[in-house]
């Protein structure tokens, strides 16, 4: 199909005024959903996070803003987030997983300890059964100025239920950024045909 330069300019203006924006928005919506699915997979089964309560996964959301009469004129952007309100409540540790602790985490009190539950104190899903204050019969065993354990005699054996540390550093285990990057890599190929579709011409 051939068109004149005047027709091309007119159709380009029409596309920029609505059709192209609508198609771009639809493509971004699909890309955002693709990123959301990828992020949820990354917090499932240890890639890189292990699923526990499922709260982090359920807090992952995606969407598109702008590109409509009520949105930002001339601006359309997709978004992906986690940690906000979810069916299972607020997930405050989402940012910690994505970016890490940005340095050591220390107890609030100078003479305090950070208590880390061991496998013996976790459920099959990897969730702690409770903190030290909820467990009776614990006793303190110090092995280093900065390391100790809280043990409990179970079945005649002393079992470590909590590791005690003066500081810990949480590494970044991103699940949002890699998912966004993967979805973004596919956008150029998806957006390329939109102009021709909006113009309704085989160019």
Confidence of residue 22 (pLDDT cuts 50, 70, 90): confident
Q: What is the pLDDT of residue 201?
A: 44
- Model confidence pLDDT, tens digit, residues 80-133: 999 876 666 678 889 998 999 989 999 999 889 999 999 999 988 778 899 999
> Does the pLDDT at position 71 exceed 50?
no
What mean pLDDT is reported for the chain?
81
Give me the mean pLDDT over the 1-26 stretch.
Answer: 63
> Does the pLDDT at position 12 exceed 80?
no
- Model confidence pLDDT, tens digit, residues 126-177: 788 999 999 999 999 999 999 999 999 999 999 999 999 999 999 999 999 9
Q: What is the pLDDT of residue 172?
A: 92
> Does the pLDDT at position 7 exceed 80?
no
Contacts 24+ apart (CB under 8 A), 21-27: 21/67, 21/76, 22/67, 23/194, 23/197, 23/198, 24/67, 24/76, 24/191, 24/194, 25/64, 25/66, 25/67, 25/68, 25/76, 27/187, 27/190, 27/191, 27/194
> Does the pLDDT at position 203 exceed 50?
no
């Amino acid at each position: 199909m051939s068109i004149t330069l005047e027709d091309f300019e007119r159709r380009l203006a029409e596309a920029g005024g609505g059709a192209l924006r609508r198609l771009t928005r639809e493509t971004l919506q699909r890309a955002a959903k693709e990123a959301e699915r990828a992020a949820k997979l990354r917090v499932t089964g240890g890639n890189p996070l292990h699923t526990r309560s499922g709260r982090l996964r359920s807090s992952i959301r995606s969407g598109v803003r702008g590109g409509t009469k009520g949105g930002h004129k001339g601006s359309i952007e997709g978004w992906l987030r986690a940690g906000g309100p979810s069916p299972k409540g607020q997930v405050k540790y989402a940012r910690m997983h994505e970016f890490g602790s940005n340095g050591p985490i220390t107890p609030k009190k100078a003479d305090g300890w950070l208590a880390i539950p061991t496998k013996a104190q976790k459920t099959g899903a990897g969730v702690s059964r409770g903190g030290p204050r909820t467990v009776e019969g614990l006793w303190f065993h110090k092995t280093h100025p900065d390391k100790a354990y809280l043990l409990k005699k179970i079945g005649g054996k002393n079992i470590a239920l909590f590791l005690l540390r003066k500081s810990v550093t949480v590494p970044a285990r991103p699940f949002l950024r890699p998912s966004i990057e993967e979805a973004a890599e596919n956008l150029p190929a998806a957006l390329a045909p939109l102009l021709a579709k909006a113009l309704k011409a085989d160019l």
